[in-house]
Amino acid sequence: ALHLLGVLLHEKGELSKAIELVKTAVELNPQYAQAHHNLAVMLSQNGQEDQAKEHMRISEALLEAQGAKQNKILTHQEKDFLE
């Protein structure tokens, strides 16, 4: 809910409040790739490039890990289907 509220505030142009909320969302759920991505965009718009790059890196790593996990699940399901 905090992440979504932050996105809505960002859309309304309330960047500082949006960043605070999305940062809190990331602290509460560090595995939330989309929140890291959106935080990176907001931080970049706020001139905080180093922090933005770090959150974008985290987002990409999380998405990659989630994709690998999904691929393992699909591979396992295919194996079960073929047996």
- Mean pLDDT throughout 11-26? 97
Query: Taking the chain, what is the end-to-end CA distance rounded to the nearest angstrom?
Result: 43
pLDDT confidence of residue 78: 47
Question: Looking up tokens 């079960």, which residue turns up?
Answer: 80
**SS3 for 72?**
helix
- The larger pLDDT score, comparing residue 63 to residue 72, is at 63
Confidence of residue 75 (pLDDT cuts 50, 70, 90): low
The Cβ of residue 25 has, within 10 Å, a number of other Cβ atoms equal to 23
pLDDT > 80? residue 81: no
pLDDT > 80? residue 72: no
- Mean pLDDT throughout 74-78? 49
DSSP 4-50: HHHHHHHHTT-HHHHHHHHHHHHHH-TT-HHHHHHHHHHHHHTT-HH
Confidence of residue 82 (pLDDT cuts 50, 70, 90): very low
